[in-house]
Amino acid sequence: MRNWLKKREFVMLMMLVVISLGISLITPAFLTPSNLLSIVMNNIILAIMAMGMTLVVVTSGIDVSVGSQLGFAAIFVGLVALLPTANIFIVLAVGLVCGVLLGIFNGILIAGAEIPAIVVTVGTMNVFRGSLLLYTNGKWVTSLPAWYTSMYNSSVLGVPIPIIIFAVVVAVTYYLIQYTRLGRSVYALGGNPVAASRVGINTDKVLLFVFAYMGALTGIASILYGAQLATIDPNAGTSFELTVISAVVIGGASALGGSGSLLGTCIGVLILGVLQNGMILMRVEPYWQDVVMGLILIIAVSVDVLNNRKKEAQKKTIDVAKAIKGGVSA
């Protein structure tokens, strides 16, 4: 299908391939199985959260509190893991519940009180982080038990656990947005909010769900976070929200709402991950990394804007059958 080639995801995929080839020409160490796996493993947390952020951006919302949510949930997961009676299931439940509650808090203010998402989440970003620092007094959570930290590097049937968790998140999210009324309502709300409520969609409920889901995925990410690093800083995740949002936008979700796909977001995450990894391998000064990431974001969005202008001119017309019974001939 030629349509497939025109898809935004395909363009981004090509961009990813070009970047990867470029890097592998400079440093042979890049294109090795172990390095590629490490790129994936190092960006699982980003990818999981970006799945949730895709839905948020589709509603034309934004959530800048996810970095703070990540730190908040990670600390509580860590503290629970230190309890003698804890096991992996309790830890999972705590991470999930903690994330969902923080997400619902955002969602109630955004959907219920109708405060713009950017305002609410800038506020909660500070509230979450501040209360976390108050509670921990700035102290790290350390010496996490091995049964917890080993989770990150163990495998089931040769597949690392983080990748399995990510696969489950993708599958659930894909099912949600593709095969459920709720998921399609998220897109409908983003495409035309007035029409959405006119066709009977409870837009408040949809918004509340989207922010709660964002929180749930952040909660899951927080479990992996503690397991990966073995110590948890109460400042964990600071400004991570910007990376999450960048990945989603590079992946093609429009900030105006209505569009955004899981595949696109995955490619967005990989572009960021590959660039970062490549620049480390090429020993580029770390300050350059921020500059390059920022430029990639701007380039990706500019390409979109230009493409949309072109598309405007090539809209299709429906052919209507010449002879409808009794119809006027045209």
With CB under 8 A, what is the number of residues at the site for other proteins? 34
Angle (CA) 215 205 164, round 5°: 35
* Residue closest to 262 by CA, chosen among 151, 139, 178, 149: 178
- One-letter amino acid for residue 229 of the chain: L
321 binds other proteins per the rule CB under 8 A: yes
Contact segment (CB under 8 A) with other proteins among 20-28, 102-110, 287-295, 316-324 equals 316-324
**230-269: which residues touch other proteins (CB under 8 A)?**
258-259
139 binds other proteins per the rule CB under 8 A: no
Site string for other proteins, 188-207 (x = CB under 8 A): x-xxx-xxx-xxxx------
Q: At what angle do helices 161-179 and 262-281 cross, to 10 degrees?
A: 150
> How near is the Cβ of 195 to other proteins at its closest, in Å?
5
- One-letter amino acid for residue 277 of the chain: N
- How far apart CA 181 and CA 192 sit, in angstroms, is 16
* Residue closest to 77 by CA, chosen among 102, 53, 105: 102
Which token pair is 291?
A: 């500059």
Among residues 103 and 183, whose Cβ is nearest to other proteins?
183
327 binds other proteins per the rule CB under 8 A: yes
> How near is the Cβ of 90 to other proteins at its closest, in Å?
31
Among residues 196 and 221, whose Cβ is nearest to other proteins?
196
182 binds other proteins per the rule CB under 8 A: yes
CB neighbours of residue 244 within 10 Å:
34
Half-sphere exposure of 294 (CA within 13 A, CB side): 5
CB 179 within 8 A of CB 264: no
Among residues 283 and 322, whose Cβ is nearest to other proteins?
322
Residue keyed to tokens 């199985």: 33
Binding other proteins (rule: CB under 8 A), the pick from 30, 128, 166, 187 is 187
1 binds other proteins per the rule CB under 8 A: no
315 binds other proteins per the rule CB under 8 A: yes
> How near is the Cβ of 198 to other proteins at its closest, in Å?
4
325 binds other proteins per the rule CB under 8 A: yes
Contact segment (CB under 8 A) with other proteins among 112-120, 234-242, 274-282, 314-322 equals 314-322
Q: 118 CB contacts (<8 Å, ≥6 apart)?
A: 62, 64
102 binds other proteins per the rule CB under 8 A: no
* Residue closest to 193 by CA, chosen among 114, 251, 263: 114
Binding other proteins (rule: CB under 8 A), the pick from 179, 285, 309, 310 is 179
User: CA–CA distance from 206 to each of 181, 185, 201 (Å)?
Assistant: 10, 7, 8
Contact segment (CB under 8 A) with other proteins among 69-77, 79-87, 161-169, 180-188 equals 180-188
- How far apart CA 187 and CA 185 sit, in angstroms, is 5
311 binds other proteins per the rule CB under 8 A: yes
> How near is the Cβ of 328 to other proteins at its closest, in Å?
5
CB 61 within 8 A of CB 35: no
Among residues 71 and 257, whose Cβ is nearest to other proteins?
257
Contacting residues toward other proteins, per CB under 8 A? 178-182, 184, 187-188, 190-192, 194-196, 198-201, 258-259, 311, 315-321, 324-328, 330
